[in-house]
Amino acid sequence: MTKRGASVDRSFRGEIARYIKDPISTTEHCRYSLMCRHVCPVGNITHSETLTPHGWALVVASVKRGLLAWDEESVDILYKCADCGLCQSHCGTNQPLPTAIAAARAEVVEQGLAPPQVLAIDKALQKWANPYAKRAPRKVKVKGVIGLYVGDAAQYLHPSTLEAALKLLEAMGVNPVLVGVGCSNGFLASSLGLAATATQLATAILGEVVKADCGKLLVMSPGDLYAFRTLYIERLNLTWPLEVEVVEATSFLYNAFKNGKLSLNRQNATPSYAYHDPCHSPRVRREYEAPRQLLSTVLGTAPLDLFWREQRAHPCGAVGGLEFTQPELATQLAEARFADTHRAGASLLITEDPLCLNQLKKHASFGIAVKGLYETLAEGINE
């Protein structure tokens, strides 16, 4: 008996298993497949056929055939993909189109045709390992059982996220080794077609992880989880140390809460709120319930449902380098998150990814306030 919401089996056999490993044939096949258009946030915002997964694939395929050339217009189109992974995560045959688009961007970079913003980011990443501050990353000096990847956004854009996460962990008696402090995880570079820089950053992170000697590495966002679990292996051909388990901090905290190792107090006078699944959420197998249950405990009520949530969660614009290369589109994506929140009837939007928090706070509208998830939870710690 089929009940609603039955999950789809994603196991593939024989030829298809080999096929999905090949990003070049991906654009050839995706150019005429419209089956994932319904989830593409950029297509949804722009209403343009060209700015959809099949549109990008067709542009790449047409350049190969000499029907189009890489020029300012077509490169601009190529850099409008958010690399959010929604198309692949909703694909019946798991086509790695985001990887194929990143590969096409790498060709554009190699041909010297990348937008100037991309080259500026490349320089910053190579020199400072982040695009936000002219400061070198801090090296890991100690070892520990549990590590916490800090990255660049929590270090430079939204430090209260890190402070609150550490406070929560401390309340459980966990003092993690900080890894990758001020260092990009390499996703931004990979997404923009800066393959060598992405590899350089990822290699540095991997070195830190080995030095820290931790068996469990906590990450504060699904974006970091995606980078370490998938991107390093599938796009950058690197090997993640098998002995190091990568876990989202929300899942870690939720487990601790369920096991009585973390005690949280309910706050008073909570406004109606919604929860934004951070960028990349649909492309990782995350525990959607964890952040929601934690927030429900502290705020006393469950978050209101956004339309674009969980498996179909739309990004806020802080993804794929859009804030640098396509600021107007990044703003539109952020505005769409607030329109969704407004329709849900919420006056507060909560999320945990520091990059999302930075983006959402910049573009808050409809009188909706934005707050960090870890910050919210930290206020509920039983001292």
Residues that bind another protein (CB under 8 A): 1-4, 6-9, 13, 15-16, 19, 29-30, 32-39, 44, 47-50, 55, 58-59, 61-62, 65-68, 73-74, 77, 90-93, 95, 305, 307, 312
Q: How far apart are CA 211 and CA 240, in angstroms?
A: 13
Q: Which residues contact 155 (CB under 8 A, 6 or more apart)?
A: 130, 133, 162, 181, 182
Select 30 or 348, whichever has its Cβ closest to another protein: 30
Residues counted in the chain: 383
Smallest distance from another protein to CB 23, Å: 13
Smallest distance from another protein to CB 153, Å: 30
Q: How far apart are CA 225 and CA 28, in angstroms?
A: 29
- Two structure tokens written together for 272: 């109606």
Smallest distance from another protein to CB 105, Å: 15
Smallest distance from another protein to CB 73, Å: 6
165's enclosing H/E stretch is helix 159-171
Select 33 or 160, whichever has its Cβ closest to another protein: 33
Select 163 or 305, whichever has its Cβ closest to another protein: 305
Select 164 or 304, whichever has its Cβ closest to another protein: 304
Select 19 or 156, whichever has its Cβ closest to another protein: 19
The DSSP annotation for 259-272 comes to: TTSS-BPPPSSPPP
Select 77 or 172, whichever has its Cβ closest to another protein: 77
Smallest distance from another protein to CB 315, Å: 17
Q: How far apart are CA 171 and CA 21, in angstroms?
A: 43
Question: In this structure, are residues 353 and 315 in contact, taking their beta carbons and an 8 Å threshold?
Answer: no
First to last CA, the chain: 49
- Two structure tokens written together for 36: 């994932």
Backbone phi, then psi, for 135, in 5-degree steps? -140, 140
User: Which residues in 55-176 belong to E strands, given as ranges?
Assistant: 146-151
Backbone phi, then psi, for 287, in 5-degree steps? -90, 95
- Two structure tokens written together for 335: 């505005």
Select 282 or 372, whichever has its Cβ closest to another protein: 282
Smallest distance from another protein to CB 366, Å: 18
Q: How far apart are CA 369 and CA 88, in angstroms?
A: 32
Smallest distance from another protein to CB 92, Å: 4
